[in-house]
Amino acid sequence: MSEYAIKINNLTKRYSGLWSQQPVDAVKNLNLEVHRGEIFGFLGPNGAGKTTTIKVLLGIIYPTSGEAYVLGRPAGDPQNHYKISYLPENPYFYDYMTGREILHFYARLFGIPEPERSRRVDALLDRVGLSRAANQPLRTYSKGMLQRIGLAQCLINDPELLILDEPTAGLDPIAHIDIRDLILELRSQGKTLFISSHQLSDVEIVCDRVAILNKGELVRMGKLEDLLSGGHVEMIAEKVPETVLEPIRQLGGRPSLHDGRLIVEQPDDGSIDRVIDLVRAHGGHIISVKPYRRTLEDLFVETIQGGRR
Amino acid sequence: MNATLAIAGATFGEAIRKRILMVILLAALVIILISPAFEPFAGRGQRTLILSFGFGIIQLAGTFIAIIMCTGLIPTEIERRTIYTILSKPVQRWNFVVGKYLGAVSTLAFVYVMMGMVFMIVSRISLGEFDPKIAQGLIMFFFQSSLLAAVTLFFSTFVSPLVNYFLSGGVFLMGNLMSSFLETIQRNPEVTPLTRIPIQILTVILPNFANFNIQNPIINPEQVLTDEFAYLVQTVLYAIVYIVLLLVASVLVFNQREM
């Protein structure tokens, strides 16, 4: 069994231009590995190539060059489809069907026979909290309920790998938390989740590793804890003389002083203790010390726009 | 096969809920029901009026329903992204295409049964007799619509619905007219081979929809189809073979399609 749930080698997907248009590389030389059992965040601005990559993984489109493997088999291999599931962004389900009927429909695509089919459908409706709405047509469902039914159809085959495109987009805060909890629960069951999302706060909470794609190219990839290291501590003090500025700079800090009020941005490396001692030794009075952790949003903006906000 | 039938069932369920299709069906049913009332305005006999009116309306409704339903069968699924949740399951593209077609044909069967029942009841009450050949005529029109549905589905694998309306409508018109046009040309000695040969080729390539229209011998019993049984079997087989070829072509095109 391959140690990777997904492995992509030098993947390029080029769309030929119509008439005089230039061909467009939606994905360029992408290399990516997703380990089994992890939640992997696949990030990037609109048009970065995320959905194109997902479609290649699902075998819906074909790579121009390079290779993609899913659960150890080439992407698009029919055997893969028994072990993976996909939830597209803003999916439409046949809305004349009820929640129960749509899950039966997807279960039939897997050839799951009765009574096992009914057992799984009932269990999933219960799991996503839709048992009471099971016999309502989908056209009466809210966006959150549709997203939950979408996740339920993803789980009908008890997949090893789930590929979710914007699973929490447009949801209210309660539905948001429900879906997030369900994602974490799936990881605890050993499933691999590959999540493409713009909801960076969600990704930061649930993902183990992330990759950031921009204009079809991979620009960052790694563990979240590594990528988000390097925060800073902000200290505010009063009655501070100007003579303290130079020693703070020597400790790596960025001080600014106005009318005796000092604001210091200090690297989060323990040196803040020495800055505090220094300020006190010069007769200053500490007002506040506040740690600022680097967020995924900071990293994302920094990566895509070079730090311009 | 399970997946194909599941897709066919979903397609049928969705089609019979489409307002435009049901409006066409309802309008056809109403027109068939009131057709005896037109007798005073028609210069023809009652039998001719009821039967030609009924067959005409049923063929027209079947044609419109086949084209309107099938133009969107595949493009709509792509646009709504439903296709991605289906093709990411163990469903081959041929399962999808064939399932969609079977769903469309089931809808046509439903529509023909509804219209046929009303037509036969009206003709039984108005004419005081039941002619079983009416059912034959309806079955032939059903196969005509099923063939047209296959043509439209084939085009829907690579063109937009709007273009498909014109393409399928054009093929249907030409397929109805080509054989009689060719006969006229062949009888005319002045037509050069340069004109005749392309028309002959086109007649072979395009499905012959005119063969399915057997309403004249039904309306006028003095007109007899020579070797009727063989003709009907041949025409149905022609439809089935053509449909299979079109489905194979649709699958081949759809397999290459990137969505």
Are residues A221 and A257 located together in one domain of the fold?
no
Are residues A221 and A238 located together in one domain of the fold?
no
Are residues A8 and A38 located together in one domain of the fold?
yes
Are residues A135 and A190 located together in one domain of the fold?
yes
pLDDT tops 50 at residue A307: no
pLDDT value at position B43?
Answer: 64
Task: State whether A58 and B84 contact (CB < 8 Å).
Answer: yes
In a domain, A269, yes or no: yes
Please tell me the total count of domains within chain A.
2
What CATH number should be reported for the domain holding residue A185? Answer: 3.40.50.300
pLDDT value at position A109?
Answer: 95
* Mean pLDDT of the residues in chain A: 90
Distance between CA atoms of residues A175 and A242, nearest Å: 53
Find out whether B153 and B97 touch, Cβ atoms under 8 Å: yes
Are residues A32 and A102 located together in one domain of the fold?
yes
Q: For A237-276, what is each residue's pLDDT tens digit?
A: 999 898 989 999 999 899 998 888 999 998 877 889 999 9
pLDDT tops 90 at residue A229: no
In a domain, A23, yes or no: yes
Are residues A287 and A219 located together in one domain of the fold?
no
Task: State whether A111 and B2 contact (CB < 8 Å).
Answer: yes
Q: For A234-245, what is each residue's pLDDT tens digit?
A: 899 999 898 989
Residue B51's alpha-carbon distances to A58, B30, B131, B134, B139, in angstroms, are: 53, 15, 10, 8, 15
Are residues A113 and A213 located together in one domain of the fold?
yes
pLDDT value at position A309?
Answer: 43
Are residues A242 and A222 located together in one domain of the fold?
no
In a domain, A24, yes or no: yes
In a domain, A74, yes or no: yes
Q: Looking at beta carbons, which residues of chain A come within 8 Å of B6?
A: 105, 108-109
Are residues A261 and A213 located together in one domain of the fold?
no
Compare CB distances from A96 to B7, B14, B90 and report the shortest one's residue.
B14
In a domain, A20, yes or no: yes
ipTM: 0.88
In a domain, A302, yes or no: no
A43 beta partners: A212
In order along its 259 residues, chain B shows pLDDT tens digits of 789 999 999 999 999 999 999 999 999 999 999 988 887 776 667 788 889 889 999 999 999 999 999 999 999 999 988 999 999 999 999 999 999 999 999 999 999 999 999 999 999 998 888 888 899 999 999 999 999 999 999 999 999 999 999 999 999 999 998 878 878 887 888 888 888 888 888 888 899 999 999 888 888 877 777 888 899 999 999 999 999 999 999 999 999 888 8
Size of interface A-B (CB pairs under 8 A): 76
Are residues A267 and A214 located together in one domain of the fold?
no
Which one of B1, B88, B256 makes the best mutation probe of the A interface by having the most chain A beta carbons within 10 Å? B88
In a domain, A192, yes or no: yes
Find out whether A81 and B95 touch, Cβ atoms under 8 Å: no
Closest CA to B174 of B205, B140, B213, B138: B205
Are residues A250 and A183 located together in one domain of the fold?
no
Q: For A166-209, what is each residue's pLDDT tens digit?
A: 988 878 888 888 888 889 999 999 999 999 988 888 888 899 99
Are residues A14 and A143 located together in one domain of the fold?
yes
Give the residue numbers spanning the domain of A21.
4-227
Class of residue B197 by CB neighbours under 10 A (exposed 0-12, middle 13-18, buried 19+): exposed
- Mean pLDDT calculated for residue range A208-222: 93
Surface of A (81-110) touching B: CB under 8 A: 81-82, 84-94, 96-97, 105-106, 108-110
What CATH number should be reported for the domain holding residue A283? Answer: 3.30.70.3400
What are the structure tokens assigned to A141, written together?
A: 């469902």
From the CB of residue A293, how many other CB atoms can be counted at a distance below 10 Å?
12
In a domain, A307, yes or no: no
Range of lowest pLDDT (A20-29, A101-110, B68-77, B182-191): B182-191
